[in-house]
Each structure stands twice: as C-alpha cells, then as structure tokens.
Chain A
Amino acid sequence: MTMTTQDPDQHLADLLGPPPADADMAALHARLTAQAEAAGLLDVAYRTLDTPVGTLLLAATPAGLVRVAYEREGLDTVLERLASKVSPRILNAPQRLDGAARQLEEYFGGHRQRFDLPLDLALASGFRRSVLSYLPAIGYGHTASYQSVAAAVNNPRAVRAVGTACATNPLPLVIPCHRVIRADGQLGAYLGGPEIKHQLLDLEAAA
C-alpha cells in the first residue's frame, strides 16, 4: 500500500475531508465572478483566446479593454503587472471579454477591419499615450513609418520614442502598432515577434 509511506498528517487530512472535485471548484468560481461583478469588486476581468498568432490574454476594467498580451510576454508576468499597476482584484472572468474576443476572431477571419470597443489606456501615459491614440488612424491594410507617426503627433524628432510607444503598446492588434514599419520598408521589431508582424500585414493585404 502506498498509503503507509504517506505523510501521516496528509493521510489524516484526506480521511477527514477529501480534496474537492474540480467541478465543484469550477462552480464556486463561476459564482464568485458573478457576485464580484454584481458587487462592483471585479477591477480586472481576464480570459485567454486561442488565435492564429498563438494564445492571447485579454483583460478589461469596467472602463474597457486594458490589455492584450502575447504568450511570449508570459501570461503570469502580465497578470502580476496588472495587479500592481491597475488592481490586484483580478479574476478569470471571460464574460466581460465576450465582445473583444468576438471582434478579434472576426479580425483573424478577415471579416473585420476596425475594432469598435471601449478602451482603457490606464497603462500608457504621456507621449506614449498620444502615439497610441494616433495609431488607429493608420487604416487596415496600410502601413506608416516611425518617422511619419512622429511627425503626425507633432514631434518629428521623437522617432525612437515612437518605437518605444509601439514596443510597450498595452493593446496590440486592437491599437495597430503592427502597421508602423521602418522608413526603408523593413518591418522592424514587434512585441509579438517579427514573424507575427509579417503574418498580420499579410492577413490585411489579402483581405
């Protein structure tokens, strides 16, 4: 019997109260998220979404979508940053992300050219925020250079800062930093990885 080699306290604990079934925990979790939302205590709701560019993490505050993150950013790391920068009241609560998930699926299917979602830019400030606010003006299937974006936000010499704003975009895909490329026509860096930037621009060129 393996039981005899077990820690006696652990064995006793299992006799006193067996570990709850996963289904029981899932039901309680669903009830908690519903109650938290109703009580106004769900500061950040999140879910993951499987897409052609990998698993994405989507997070929203009551004000709107606050974060879209690629897998390579580390989902745990992203959640820990949200906890310290927005609020630690974070739950896996997919319902608030229904609209964002649906629109992203439509985008990857080639059926959506612009996103119509409330956005919360709490994670961007100052110059970065003004760059991000400008980016949706670059239309689907088009690209703009870092220089031209710097000029458009009235700071023509801030080319490097535009690059930083794109590299730290809290809402990639929805705020289309993938449409900003180098003046020489090369694609340049992308927070999801250069191959994904390529993939997105191909998708938009095909539609």
Chain B
Amino acid sequence: MTGKQPFEKLVSEHGPAVLRVCRAVLGPVDADDAWSETFLSALQAYPQLPADANVEAWLVTIAHRKAIDVIRRTRRAAVPVADVPAVAADPDDRDLDLPRSLARLPERQRFAVSYHYLAGLPYAEVAAIIGGTAEAARRAASDGIANLRKTHGTVP
C-alpha cells in the first residue's frame, strides 16, 4: 500500500489554487497553458512522489518552473511596444485592478506574494521555490504588499 490519493483528488483539491497562482504570476492568457503543463508533469511524476510530501508545495514548485519557462519564452519573443497606458485611478475601480498591479510587481516580489498569499505556503516553502532564505522571502512578500498598498488604499 502506497497510501497515495488518486490523482483526481489532487486536481480537485489543489487545481483552483494552482490556477490562481498561475494567473497571478503570468496573467490570464498564459495561465491556462502553465496550469495544463503543471498537472501533466505532475501526473507523470506522481507515482515517484514520497507519500508524505507536501502536495501543494510540490505542485506550486512545478508551476513555478513552468512559469519561468513561459516568462523566458515570452521575453525572447517580445517585440518592444509603446508603454501601456497607466491603469485608471478611479478609486471605485481600484480593487479590480489589484491583480493587474500584482502582475507588474518585480518578479521576486510577485512570486513571493503569490506563493505565500494565494497558495498559502509558509515562507520556508516559498524560499525553497524561489531561492534565498525564508527571511528574504518574507521581505520580498512584504515589499510587494507595500508596493501594492501605494496604489491601492484598500489593501489590508
């Protein structure tokens, strides 16, 4: 007995959180592809995963690698364009723009905020994924939140 959950359980329990993370780090367009690649890779590797592994951290780790691949691919393919106009500053719309502001944070801050606040991973796990110490991961997340607070007064 391996005591392992059927993979379907992983998809239903962690699929939505992984998609939120993919959307946060990549934006809605590339998120679906990153999610699909993440779960297909996870399905392949699943029989070898130790039974006591933290499944959510494992999935976010795979999603992170897929996201890095996508970011590199897009960067190589990028064609310079004029600056996108700044987001409307209408205070009533501010919360709706929060995901967009998150997408514009520096990479490490964006990763740290997404993995800690959206995936709910402790900073030690976040650090294992993005590199550096847990303390540095905590700082990156809090810098990220401070940046979001500058443009969005409603951020708690």
Contact = CB atoms under 8 A, between A and B. Distances in A.
A80 interface: yes
Interface residues of B, number: 39
B interface secondary structure, majority: helix
Contact of B32 (A8, A11, A28, A44): A28
Interface stretch (B43-51, B72-80, B131-139): B43-51
A16 B113 contact: yes
B6 A80 contact: yes
Contact of B39 (A17, A32, A83): A32
Interface string B20-48: 11011000000010011001100110110
Contacts of A8: 156
A25 B15 contact: yes
A36 B43 contact: yes
A117 interface: no
Interface in A18-56: 18-20, 24-25, 28-29, 31-32, 35-36, 39, 41, 44, 46
Contacts of B32: 28, 31
A201 B17 CA distance: 48
A44 B5 CA distance: 13
Chain A interface size band reads 20 to 34
A119 interface: no
Interface stretch (A88-96, A101-109, A140-148, A192-200): A88-96
A89 B35 contact: no
B16 A41 contact: no
Contacts of A80: 5-6
A162 to B, nearest CB: 27
B5 A31 contact: no
Interface in B93-122: 95, 98-99, 102, 113-114, 117-118, 120
- Give the interface SS of chain A, mostly helix, strand, loop or mixed: helix
B7 A17 contact: no
A154 interface: no
Contacts of B11: 29, 32, 91
B40 A41 contact: yes
A79 B10 CA distance: 13
A12 interface: yes
Contacts of A12: 117, 145, 155-156
Given A28-B19, A32-B39, A84-B2, A17 B102 contact: yes
A92 B8 contact: yes
Nearest to A22: B16
Nearest to A9: B117
A189 interface: no
Interface of B: 1-9, 11, 15-16, 19-21, 23-24, 32, 35-36, 39-40, 43-44, 46-47, 95, 98-99, 102, 113-114, 117-118, 120, 145, 154-156
10 contacts: A9-B120, A19-B20, A32-B40, A32-B43, A36-B40, A80-B5, A82-B6, A83-B7, A84-B3, A84-B4
